[in-house]
Each structure stands twice: as structure tokens, then as C-alpha cells.
């Protein structure tokens, strides 16, 4: 069996981590033959809760889990890690927008970027889940100067999963028979879920989703709004933010980054923009990507219609505003 790899999860005593840690430790992310050492980071008031989480991980008797290291010290948390799930952040509550979280959370991700830079492996794969995820990832990358910027990503896989599920429900097929739905832009209410390049498997044939659905009004209105507002809808129902589905999406994101995407299939990830599709450079932007040998590559050459351009312009503007505000907060700190 392979040598263990070290994986850090921040906010490890929180709701998302409660589902995420089990999925990671049972081999759903890095493979069923990859032993793990889990580093669990949280704030001092959560230490007692963290101990309970560790007891549960122990009681699961997971064959791949070799060691669990709980800590409140970033120097310990990020030491020699090969992968990082940055989940810990001030949670969004009912009535809050992601920009309300910006000031408090960018300071957290500045510290964690500096710690990753100093202690983690230089090829560490970093997934930011804590919101505002795109801008937090950009801040993290900015302060980890010796780690390639392409190693910092933000999670829009939850939005992709939501969009994929909505199309599957609309068409009446298993969710596995829908692929290549795209999330453009920010993980926020300005994101643009785009079904125009999606494919649905009907019988033994793959057909364009727009052809199968045959309802342009739905794809431009209800579909977009349901996905954009799904997080707020879950909060209104649960009185807490998405946890189980967020943990599953984090696993999907990191698994595909680790193992790659099949030919003909792409997934959505928040990655550092190079200006593709007339997006602003140097913000973390959700694009369709293909992954090979642990390296993502933005899918190029997809036609973008005027409706899509108008939606992408809104999320472009928001991401630039968030980035400028975040850097001002970091500079003043």
C-alpha cells in the first residue's frame, strides 16, 4: 500500500467537515488504496467539539486512516500537507450576502495563505470552500507566494451538482446521465449556470440538453434562478447553510483534480482567470475545465451567446469589486 499523504481540513469541528471527514477518510477522494493522515484545524473555542469528532472517526474503524492530528495552530495544520480543504470561515446566516462575510473572512485566508506558503508541500492542492470562496481563494494565493497560483481553487462544484440535478429532474433521467453543465463566475447569486453546452444521455445516445428540454424560457429564467438561489433556499428551510451537499461537492472537486476527468467531460472549478472568455484577469473565476495529471486546463472555444455574456458581465463586476475590497482589507490589517 502507498505511503500516507497528509490532508488538512479547516473548520474541522463544523457542519460541513462532519460529513466531509468521513468521506475523505473512507477513500472517496484520494482512492481506496491511499492511506491518510488527517490534520484537523479549528479555533480554540471548538477544541472540545473537535475531540468528539476525533472519537467518532476512531469509532468508524476506517482502514485508510492512519493518524488524526487536531490543532489550533496553522503551523501544525499545514505541515507537509498534499491537499487542503479550507472549509473554516464565518458562516453565512439567513439574510446575509456573501459580501457581508468578506471583511472577517479575508483575514482568515490571508493567515492561511501565509501558513500554506511556509509549511505545506509546494505542489499542495488547495480547495477553498469557505465563503466568499472565490475571493478567499484569490487572497490565499496572493499570500502564498512560493506555491503556483493554479494550485488554489474555489468550489463551484456544488452549484454544478445543483444545476445537473435540476436538468435531470426536468428531463426525467438519472443525474449521472447529465454532463457538461457549466457554472461561470462567482459562487454567489451572480453566478451563471449555463446549460447550453450540457449533454443528456437518452437511451444509448447523447443529445444536447437544450434540444431535449426544448424550453428556452425555463433555461433562461427558472433554471438559472433556482441554482443561483439554492443556497439561500436551503438556509431558509434548514436555518443553517448547506452542509451534506457541500461536503459531497468538495469531495467531487478534489477527486477529479486528483484523478482527472474522462475524455469529453468537463467540470466547473473556480480557478485563477487568464482572461479567457473576456473575464477579468487575476480573479478566481469558475470556468469549465478538463483535468489531466492533476493539472486543470480551461476548456476553450465554446460559443457564448448574448444572454450568457450579459449574465457573465454581472458576475465579472462582482468579482472585481470583491477582489478590490478584499485587498483593501488585507492591506489595512
Cβ–Cβ under 8 Å, residues 291 and 157 = no
Question: Does the annotation list 129 as a binding residue?
Answer: yes
Half-sphere exposure of 169 (CA within 13 A, CB side): 9
DSSP annotation of 14 reads S
Question: Does the annotation list 98 as a binding residue?
Answer: yes
Query: Which residues lie closer than 8 Å to 71 by C-beta, 6 or more apart?
Result: 39, 40, 41, 77
Q: Which residues are catalytic, by number?
A: 187
Question: Does the annotation list 42 as a binding residue?
Answer: yes
Please give the helix or strand (H or E) that residue 208 lies within, else none: strand 205-208
**Omega prior to 22 cis, within 30 of 0:** no
171: number of Cβ within 10 Å: 17
Cβ–Cβ under 8 Å, residues 258 and 298 = no
Phi, psi dihedral angles at 253 (to 5 degrees): -60, -55
DSSP annotation of 278 reads G
Work out the burial of residue 304: count CB atoms within 10 Å of its CB; fewer than 13 is exposed, 13-18 middle, 19 or more buried.
middle
Question: Does the annotation list 92 as a binding residue?
Answer: yes
Phi, psi dihedral angles at 240 (to 5 degrees): -145, 160
Query: Sign of the CA dihedral 250, 251, 252, 257?
Result: positive
Cβ–Cβ under 8 Å, residues 295 and 271 = no
Can you say how many angstroms the Cα of residue 10 is from the centroid of all Cα atoms in its chain?
14
Helix (H, G, I), strand (E, B) or coil at 261: coil
Question: Does the annotation list 186 as a binding residue?
Answer: no
Q: Could you tell me which of 76, 69, 77, 67 has the C-alpha nearest to residue 3?
A: 67
Instruction: Report angle CA 234, 246, 122 to the nearest 5 degrees.
Output: 150
Mark the binding-site residues for substrate, compressed into ranges.
Answer: 92, 98, 131, 162
Mark the binding-site residues for NAD(+), compressed into ranges.
Answer: 42, 105, 129-131
Mark the binding-site residues, compressed into ranges.
Answer: 42, 92, 98, 105, 129-131, 162
Amino acid at each position: 500500500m502507498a505511503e500516507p499523504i497528509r490532508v488538512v481540513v479547516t473548520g474541522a469541528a463544523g457542519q460541513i467537515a462532519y460529513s466531509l471527514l468521513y468521506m475523505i477518510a473512507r477513500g472517496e477522494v484520494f482512492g481506496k488504496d491511499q492511506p491518510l493522515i488527517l490534520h484537523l484545524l479549528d479555533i480554540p473555542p471548538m477544541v472540545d467539539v473537535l475531540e468528539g469528532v476525533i472519537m467518532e472517526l476512531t469509532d468508524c474503524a476506517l482502514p485508510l486512516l492512519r493518524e488524526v492530528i487536531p490543532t489550533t495552530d496553522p503551523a501544525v495544520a499545514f505541515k507537509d500537507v498534499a491537499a487542503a480543504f479550507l472549509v473554516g470561515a464565518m458562516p453565512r446566516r439567513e439574510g446575509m450576502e456573501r459580501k457581508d462575510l468578506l471583511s472577517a473572512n479575508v483575514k482568515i485566508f490571508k493567515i492561511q495563505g501565509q501558513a500554506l506558503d511556509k509549511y505545506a508541500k509546494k505542489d499542495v492542492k488547495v480547495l477553498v470552500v469557505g465563503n466568499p470562496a472565490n475571493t478567499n481563494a484569490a487572497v490565499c494565493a496572493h499570500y502564498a507566494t512560493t506555491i503556483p497560483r493554479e494550485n488554489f481553487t474555489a468550489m463551484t462544484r456544488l452549484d454544478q451538482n445543483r444545476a445537473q440535478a435540476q436538468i435531470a429532474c426536468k428531463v426525467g433521467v438519472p443525474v449521472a446521465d447529465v454532463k457538461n453543465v457549466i457554472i461561470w463566475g462567482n459562487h454567489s447569486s451572480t453566478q451563471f449556470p449555463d446549460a447550453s453546452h450540457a449533454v443528456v444521455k437518452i437511451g444509448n445516445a447523447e443529445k444536447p440538453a437544450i434540444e431535449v428540454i426544448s424550453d428556452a424560457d425555463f433555461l433562461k429564467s427558472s433554471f438559472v434562478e433556482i441554482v443561483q438561489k439554492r443556497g439561500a433556499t436551503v438556509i431558509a428551510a434548514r436555518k443553517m447553510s448547506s452542509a451534506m451537499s457541500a461536503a459531497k461537492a468538495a469531495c467531487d472537486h478534489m477527486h477529479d483534480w486528483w484523478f482527472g476527468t474522462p475524455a469529453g467531460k468537463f467540470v466547473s472549478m473556480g480557478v485563477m482567470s487568464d482572461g479567457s472568455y473576456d473575464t477579468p484577469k487575476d480573479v478566481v473565476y469558475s470556468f469549465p475545465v478538463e483535468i489531466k495529471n492533476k493539472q486543470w486546463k480551461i476548456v476553450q472555444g465554446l460559443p457564448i451567446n448574448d444572454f450568457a455574456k450579459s449574465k457573465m458581465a454581472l458576475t465579472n463586476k462582482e468579482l472585481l469589486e470583491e477582489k478590490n475590497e478584499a485587498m483593501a482589507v488585507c492591506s489595512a490589517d
